Amino acid sequence: MTEKEAFSYIRRLAMDKGKPMAEIAKTLLKAYGE
């Protein structure tokens, strides 16, 4: 997944779930880090 794809995915999640983007980004970073 490219950075651009990841970003649009985060934005879609944020809109769908109404979560703050920072929270989603942290979750993604954790997933990538492991």
Range of the domain at 12: 3-33
pLDDT of residue 7: 80
Token representation of residue 28:
């993604």
Q: How confident is the model at residue 5 (pLDDT cuts 50, 70, 90)?
A: confident
Q: State the pLDDT at residue 1.
A: 64
pTM: 0.44
SS3 1: coil
Q: What is the pLDDT of residue 6?
A: 80
The count of domains in the chain is 1
pLDDT digits (tens, 9 = 90+) for 10-34: 788 777 777 777 887 788 788 877 6
Nearest alpha-carbon partner for 10 in 33, 32, 27: 27
Where do the H-state alpha helices sit in 1-34? 3-17, 21-33
